[in-house]
Amino acid sequence: MATTQPTIPGIIATMAIKHEAFFKEMGARIAQARKERGLTQQALANALGVSQQTLAHYEVGRVGVAAAMLPRLAQLLDLSFDEILTGQPTIRIPGKRGPASRLEQQLDAVTRLPKAKQKMVAELIDSVIVKAQMEAHHAPG
């Protein structure tokens, strides 16, 4: 059986479809965040320095948002780049600038586990802490 190799036009068409889907999904997230914050298209467009029509095109994915505009958009909508680009939130710790540390992200994930799994993780952490305290107490000093 002969396998057919993908053609360049076929590859480009597939990429274009994925590209279009990405911008439609991102536009929907932008529109939802804007509405959740009580902003009109005109108000957000003014803050971004674009026309209301351009913002409308962003929100339906007809036009992709320029990468240079993402920092300002994230700031205005109080979203992380992850939230705008992928829809996945970046965990933030109140009062702390920037994304959460790996440990903070893991602890957040643990809070979403079933209670039995949470208890198991808590017991493991407790044992590590007790061991570290004992080693510190018995360390030559």
Q: Where along the chain do its domains lie?
A: 1-90, 92-141
Largest CA distance in the chain: 74
**141 pLDDT higher than 70:** no
Contact between residue 60 and residue 24 where contact means Cβ atoms under 8 Å apart: yes
Contact between residue 72 and residue 58 where contact means Cβ atoms under 8 Å apart: no
- pLDDT at position 53 is 97
Q: pLDDT (tens digit, 9 = 90+) per residue, 2-15?
A: 567 778 877 777 77
pTM for the whole structure: 0.57
Give the residue, 135 or 33, on which the prediction is more confident.
33
Mean residue pLDDT of the chain comes to: 82
Burial of 73 (0-12, 13-18, 19+ CB in 10 A): buried
Residues in CB range of 89: below 8 A, 6 or more apart = 80, 82, 83
CATH numeric code, 1-90: 1.10.260.40
